Chain A
Amino acid sequence: MSSRRTRTTRTREHDIDDLVSKLQALLPSSSSSCKRTTVPSSKILEETCNYIKSLRRKGDNLGERLSQLLDSMENNGVDVSIIKDLLQP
């Protein structure tokens, strides 16, 4: 144990551990496996990066499909604002 580690450093590392486990809980792979072992945080960061990239890709693909659908709907004369009114409570 390094004597230079102050209590502040130790609490901050605990904070980081908490944050990392919260992050792990958000990732999709954690809900499928029931492992309670400590996954190294470098792995968690790597999975986080991959997850963010995959979410962005999904968002982009959905955006393209959405724009195509809107285009075809406009051509068929459907007004998008009708949908919005339908969704209003």
Chain B
Amino acid sequence: MSPPQQPSSTNPNSLKIRLTHRFLHNLNNLNKKRSNLDNTQIHRRSHRVKLAAYASMARVVGSRRAWSRAILWKIRNRKVFTRNKRVDHKTTHHHHLARSIKRRTTNHSNHKREYVDPNGNSGQEVKLRKLVPGVETMDACGLLDETADYIKCLATQVEVMRNLVDLYSTI
């Protein structure tokens, strides 16, 4: 499976390089802490590697993006963050994506009705809001913009990790 073409808007080489350095830095810190753990903590370590990956993604992007801010906030409040946090879908300035979707699909027959929640969001949009951190109360334009940036960074992070795995496995 070949990785997607890197768009030229953000300099992809510098993003990859910055991600690599930051991820290695986080891994290093991980290893220093880990010297007290024994081998039964394998699960915790792989969980920490995942956290390090997300943390390095968010740290490199900084507070420029809603998703990175959300991740950084979650990491800082990891102990306090409860699962009971309810998300209110505010309808103040939502230009509902569902309307544009219906406009674009008028020529195609939908055999099953698209799920639309009480706020007018389609099922896909709701799923997307759950997948991308920090976009629960964003309008449709912002949501799409954040999703594009999130995908770019995720893909680059995966590439960095793949390169590291290849590198480490040859040593």
Contact = CB atoms under 8 A, between A and B. Distances in A.
A10 to B, nearest CB: 11
B140 A48 contact: no
Chain B interface SS verdict (over half): helix
Contacts of A51: 151
Given A52-B131, A52-B151, A63-B161, A84 B108 contact: no
Contact of A28 (B4, B21, B45): B4
Given A46-B124, A81-B28, A83-B167, A63 B46 contact: yes
A56 B53 CA distance: 11
Given A60-B50, A67-B42, A83-B171, 19 more contacts: A12-B95, A17-B104, A22-B148, A25-B5, A27-B4, A31-B4, A42-B114, A52-B128, A52-B132, A55-B155, A55-B158, A59-B53, A62-B161, A66-B164, A67-B46, A74-B34, A83-B24, A84-B24, A87-B21
6 contacts: A16-B95, A20-B144, A26-B148, A40-B108, A41-B101, A67-B45
Interface string A43-55: 0011011011101
B120 to A, nearest CB: 14
Interface of A: 9, 12-13, 15-17, 19-20, 22-23, 25-28, 31, 38, 40-42, 45-46, 48-49, 51-53, 55-56, 58-60, 62-71, 73-74, 78, 80-81, 83-84, 87
A70 B167 CA distance: 11
Interface in B52-109: 53, 95, 97, 99-101, 103-105, 108
Contacts of A69: 165, 168-169
A48 B147 contact: yes
